[in-house]
Amino acid sequence: MTAYAPDPILLEVYRHRFAGVAEEMGATLRRTAYSPNIKERLDYSCALFDASGAMVAQAAHIPVHLGAMPASCAAALQAFPDWCEGDVIALNDPYAGGNHLPDITMVSPVFAGNEPIFFVASRAHHADVGGMSPGSLPLSTELCQEGIIIPPVKLVRRGKVNTDLLSIILRNVRTPQERRGDLEAQRAAHAVGERRLKALIQDAGPQELQAYAMHLKEYSERMTRAAIAMWPDGTFTFEDCLELPGGRTPVIRVCATIGGDAVTFDFAGTDPVMEGPLNTVLAVTCSACYYVVRCLVADDIPVNDGCFAPVTVTAPEGCLLHATDGAAVAGGNVETSQRITDVALGALAQALPNRIAAASQGTMNNVTIGGRDIHGHPYAYYETLGGGMGAGPTSDGLSGVHVHMSNTRNTPVEALEMQFPLRIREYSLREGSGGTGRFTGGEGMIREYELLRPAIVTMLSERRHVAPWGLAGGVAGACGANELRRAGGTRELLPGKFTRRLGATDRLRIKTPGGGGWGSAPGAAGSGP
Amino acid sequence: MAELVGIDVGGTFTDFVYMDGPTLRVLKVPTTAQDQSQAVAQGLRSVGVSPRAVIVHGTTTATNALLERRGARTALLTTAGFRDVLAIGRQHRPHLYRLSQERPAELVPRDRRFTVRERVDAKGQVLQPLDVNELHQVAQAISACGAESLAVVFLFSFFNESHERQAAQVLRALVPSVRLSLSVELLPEYREYERTATTVINAYVQPLVSRYLEHLAAAVGGRKVWVMQSSGGTIDVAHAARQPVRLVLSGPAGGVVGAFKVAQAALNTDSPRIITFDMGGTSTDVALCPGDIPRTAESEIGGLPLKLPSVDIHTVGAGGGSIARVDSGGALRVGPMSAGAVPGPVCYGRGGRQVTVTDAHVVLGSLDPYRFLPDTSGALKNTRAALARLGAPLGMGAEATAMGVIRVANATMERALRRVSVEQGHDPRRYTLVPFGGAGPLHACELAEALGVRRIVVPRLPGVLSALGLVLADITFDASQALVRPTAALAKDLAPLKQHVSALRHRVVAALPGTPQLLASLDLRYAGQSYEIEVPLGLPVSTQHLDASVGAFHAAHSQRYGYQAKERAVECVAVRIRGSIPSGYSNDARMEVRPSTTDTLRPTNWRSVCMRRVRPETVPCYERNLLRPGHLLKGPALIFQYDTTILLRHGWTARIDKDLNAIIQRIPALDKDDP
């Protein structure tokens, strides 16, 4: 590699170039997608990989995709040693490169001569992939109930779509037209990524591109290691729990060890795989830990494989954070990932007390509603709701935002009511829900849905019983609550997780959790973690 | 021929361009930040503008009030249950990877956000009538909170404006001193957060802007004034005072209009395809004009969305003053920090110690510090030393480091240029680059090479192009109205579309003097999509014209996104009408240009410049004001003028056209030429 020792100027030039490719892919995907979930809420990511499957650049809007995209590329490479120009692999199998079924990932090669020297990948959250409830985030007990499982398959071979395969996929989902449109959008993004990379290859030659892909990884690794080296060495433990029906509270434990310029998160002691949808595959566990480290390193370094090299994540196979094949994982991606972030931050807060914020809302408040509209056409609506961000050592937490592993946009009320047989009765901040302290946690939100036609409603939400903790003497944020209000004034408190058939005029009122406070308010008693 | 004065307020200078028949005068006066009209008055006196002259003004009063949060004490009235739409926004956090973060200050804090019971559904039907009794109580609270300005935004008001109108009527009677901004008058389109933000911005800047326009009227002494809008068209003072939200992104619009008009004449076409490249001290604005001036309704300012038509400009935080550094990972970085005017670049000798892009040019020889610095004795040496210090840890000398700084800055610029071209489906090789601003013409050739652009037009007066753009801009007014319906349904029954077009036409005509040219358009999308493409609609409304719009939509979708789906239903979301009246100054009028006095052109001097490698070469230098139509220059060369420098690289030639623009072209045969 001596011929291509890193030139500090080209290093910067290629940072822009590679990031530009991923961004162009993302811009294409967003613009061409059909479902509001992708277009309005930006629930997607695009990335570039080198020939070995190491990530070179990522345009991520969703941190939970951080560690999970590399796993997809690795699975695609493992499944298909032979690649042709124009091939596109699709997958969503959590046990072969996916994270949960609604996230469909595509991987395709970029050739220089006869060899693929880069891969581009895209991941988009599809609003429905079949399974036992509309929106495909069901209260499942095994993977098969969650929707169609797509192991790594060549959906496109030498530029020709495998229409048989596509028909099977589309036949297994509730909204095939929309799925087709979104899958086409992903393909369009890949075409753009491939075109841009080929132009760069033609311009500078494959060797230079490959060399700088490697140099940029080393650069990010250097920066990450330098940041970790400033942390005090030591071992720090923390635990928190999830909430299951029947009052069960499976525990997630972490032991974080900082040693020199590396950090290890070991989740030994975490409860085993459960009969419920909150298990995760190891890739999701990795994503959460990578995210935590990424937040503590200068935020303008390029996101690539090098950021992850100094971070080791282990979880015993069979525990709920390293689920074994067949276990249900629909909610692990969206809910458990938030708790993994909380415990990793809780552990590191002991080492870095002046850098880490109190617990944020710790859930994504997943709402899925499915039924038929007034024309009898099926629809599936999926949305996640923001809440309070934890207060930090220097500022109050933000209110009504997505925290940690998600950052999706909301669906405008006026867009939603024009598209679905739903009406929003209230959308506001939940005053007083942020934990008090020297700095106050952010406020949760209230969103009240009225059904205009009967529908099946599924919710996956957390922090309904165990509040987001305060830090350094700050008070915990308020728990969330899901409430059913019926005509005539009856009210019923619903659990954090449920699937229910509701009737026209029924109202679902969701209050999302507030963030924890930071530091003791003068004259107030605090509640630590 | 009317006499026209373009007056453009910038951060440092207020620029004047005075067109009196065929003569053109130019003046720069220091900006008076507190009250921009003072500099205006001063400049008008200095230039000796006739009392009959018409003023076209670009002001940043609205922009600054918004960005610096110096606007009026503003209240907001919304539908019950939706008090916090403005605070929640789209519920995303600004930074993905920060554990603690803050948002820009709210324009309307919670204690000034009020609600009233009323509700219209998604079809425009009233679910709950406006509760007038409650509104009386709310009016008291609005009065008590001391608000000077009030925004009124109700859900689905774009389908049924009666509640907003009714509320306004009641409030005008109850709290007559509070100025009202209604969403149905500003932006009757769907998406409540964006509509609320746009209406609130208007309410927030309106008192300040209307006071400023009163000062301005005094400063210009009875001359007629037009004000530049974000859309690139001008509007009269009365409308500007009522709807100042239309001005908040007007700053960079004049430059794009100026560049486009110059290109129209220079390239001898009504619809030139150009990319404008305005590189200033702290930021760079780029815009792609595919034969017309591009407009978007998806802008953002100060952390808030702005949904009114604006010239589609992409801004990056890098310019001549951007600071270069070597980070701890060993990469050379440029920006986003800027040295600003004080202390400024090292070469200014005002105590700046951090290397900027400008310093790199000085060390390479492509900028001549004698031209813009009073005293260069120590500055040159200091600049070179600073570059050497920056490069030392990388094992690079001053010149190599300087070349690196330029290259990295160009990588940022190239990404910005790609974003407006390639990312939108436009091939930059088919475009002409029009650089302006202090640093644009220095970087143009190298960027053109990176993008495959083969032609560059440097306007005669790149430093005051924005002021020139004001004078050349059309007088325009844009109006829109939500109309959400499949195009098939619109075709079956043309009445609703006709009604909307007719109502919009009335609004537009009422806002403009004389008889405007009317351009109608539709925002279309495939049913189920949530992004629209604006396509022209022929008038009068007919099924043929509607079909043509749908056809244009398929083509535009294919061009921008790579596919079209003719089998899918197309849905209309909004109807737009733009009325425009050409500016008093015709584009055909030529500036007075003295004819060429000599056929042969000699360099005024020679400079040692590092063009392609660290070892300097001797390069001829020319004075722009001595260049005459027909002159032809071959790169490498430098062309100096009072506020910019053109760097002509190897393989490029510059020809001076009849209007004294420099037409710079790539010579394929000379690409590899190595003298």
Chain A partners within 8 Å of B528 (Cβ):
34-35, 177-178, 181
Q: If you average pLDDT over residues B324-329, what whole number do you get?
A: 87
Interval A343-368: pLDDT, tens: 999 999 999 999 999 999 999 999 99
| Cβ proximity of A220 and A227 under 8 Å | no
Residue A289: inside a domain: no
CB of A351 within 8 A of CB of A395? no
Q: A389 to chain B nearest CA, in Å? A: 8
Range of the domain at B482: 475-581
Tell me whether 0.95 is exceeded by the ipTM. no
Tell me the whole-structure pTM to 2 decimals.
0.91
Of B418, B453, B488, the residue at which a domain comes to its end is B453
pLDDT in tens, B77-106: 999 999 999 999 999 898 888 998 888 889
Residue B373 has pLDDT above 80, yes or no: no
Domain co-membership, B615 together with B556: no
CATH number, domain of B102, equals 3.40.1360
Mean pLDDT, range B346-371, rounded to an integer: 90
In-domain check, residue B414 = yes
Is B597 a residue whose pLDDT tops 70? Answer: no
Looking at the fold, whether B107 and B198 belong to one and the same domain comes out as yes
CA–CA gap between residue B134 and residue B157 (Å, rounded):
19
Q: Which residues of A touch B98 (CB under 8 A)?
A: 295, 299
Question: How deeply is B336 buried, as exposed, middle or buried, from its count of CB atoms within 10 A (0-12, 13-18, 19+)?
Answer: middle
Q: Which of A163, A196, A221 is the last residue of a domain?
A: A221
A407–B contact, CB cutoff 8 A: yes
Residue B612: inside a domain, yes or no? yes
Q: What is the structure's pLDDT at A526?
A: 45
Whether residues B96 and A63 touch (CB distance < 8 A) is answered with yes
Q: Is the CB of B98 less than 8 angstroms away from the CB of A295?
A: yes
Clarify whether residues B563 and B500 are in a common domain: yes
**CA gap B518, B538 in Å, rounded:** 10
- The reply to whether B56 falls in a domain is no
Whether the link from the prior residue into A36 is cis, omega within 30° of 0, is no
Q: Are residues B330 and B449 in the same domain?
A: yes
**CA nearest B559: which of A188, A121, A44?**
A188
Note whether A122 and A253 are within 8 A (CB): no
Q: What is the pLDDT of residue A527?
A: 47
Two tokens, residue B460:
């005669």
Residue B229 falls within a domain, yes or no?
A: no
Q: Are residues B449 and B479 in the same domain?
A: no
pLDDT tens for residues B572-588?
A: 999 999 999 987 655 44
Span of A39-48, B182-191, B492-501 with lowest mean pLDDT: A39-48
Task: Please say which residue of A221, A245, A277 terminates a domain.
Answer: A221
Of B326, B563, B565, the CB nearest to A8: B326
**Is residue A229 situated within a structural domain?**
no
Classified as helix, coil or strand, B597 is: coil
Same domain, B205 and B82: yes
* Domain that residue A459 falls in: 357-529
Q: What sign has the CA pseudo-torsion B211, B212, B214, B215?
A: positive
Structurally, chain A folds into a number of domains equal to 2
Cross-chain CB nearest to B99 (options A6, A20, A356):
A356
Same domain, B84 and B175: yes
Q: At what angle do helices B398-420 and A8-32 cross, to 10 degrees?
A: 10
Q: Is A122 among the domain residues? A: yes
- Residue B591 lies inside a defined structural domain of this protein: no
Backbone angles phi, psi at A511, to 5 degrees: -110, 125
Closest CA to A373 of A180, A182, A219, A175: A175
Q: Are A68 and A216 members of one domain?
A: yes
Element (H, E) at B523: strand B517-526
Cβ-defined contact of A413 to B333 (cutoff 8 Å):
no
Question: What's residue B671's pLDDT?
Answer: 46
Higher local confidence (pLDDT), B39 or A298: B39
Do the domain assignments include residue A267?
no
Best mutation target among B117, B561, B563 (most A Cβ atoms within 10 Å) is B561
Residue B595's pLDDT is 53
Residues B429 and B479 in one domain: no
d(CA A35, CA A184): 12
What mean pLDDT is reported for chain B?
90
Task: Identify the closest residue of chain A to B103 by CA–CA distance.
Answer: A398
Least confident range of A389-393, B545-549, B598-602: B598-602
Q: What is the DSSP letter of B108?
A: S
Predicted local confidence at residue A3, as pLDDT: 43
Tell me which chain B residues have a C-beta less than 8 angstroms from the C-beta of A408.
91-92
User: Residue B308 falls within a domain, yes or no?
Assistant: yes
| Mean pLDDT for the stretch of residues B528-555 | 92
Within a domain: residue B159? yes
Residues B569 and B627 in one domain: no
Mean of pLDDT values over B180-198: 96
Determine how β-strand B605-609 pairs with β-strand B617-623.
Answer: antiparallel
Domain assignment of residue A321, yes or no = no
- Cα A22 to its chain centre, rounded Å, is 18
Determine which helix (DSSP H) or strand (DSSP E) holds B70, and give its type and residue range.
none
| Tokens 């993977």 found at | A143
Query: Which among B88, B156, B194 has the least Cβ separation from residue A429?
Result: B88
**CB A307: neighbour CB atoms within 10 A?**
23
Does A337 map to a domain? no
Ranges of chain A with pLDDT below 50: 1-4, 526-529
Predicted pLDDT of residue B344:
84
Contact between B250 and B473 (Cβ < 8 Å): no
In a mutagenesis test of the A interface, which of B76, B92, B189 is the best target, namely the one with the most A β-carbons within 10 Å? B92
Domain membership of residue A460 (yes or no) is: yes
Single out the residue of B16, B7, B150, B163 nearest to residue B79, CA to CA.
Answer: B163
- Per residue in B232-242, pLDDT (tens digit) is 999 999 999 99
Of A192, A221, A250, which closes a domain?
A221
Question: Is residue B143 situated within a structural domain?
Answer: yes
Cα A293 to Cα A286: distance, rounded to the nearest angstrom: 11
| Closest chain A C-alpha to B149 CA, distance in angstroms | 23
pLDDT value at B468 more than 80: yes
Under an 8 A CB cutoff, do A181 and B528 touch? yes
CATH number of the domain that B543 lies in? 3.30.1490
Which residue of A427, A453, A518 to mutate against B (max B Cβ within 10 Å)?
A427
How many domains in chain B? 4
Token pair listed for A298: 């200068």
Based on the fold, state whether residues B184 and B273 are members of the same structural domain.
Answer: no
* Number of cross-chain residue pairs from A and B with Cβ atoms under 8 Å apart: 194
Q: How far is B247 from chain A (nearest CA, A)?
A: 26
Q: pLDDT at residue B305 above 90?
A: yes
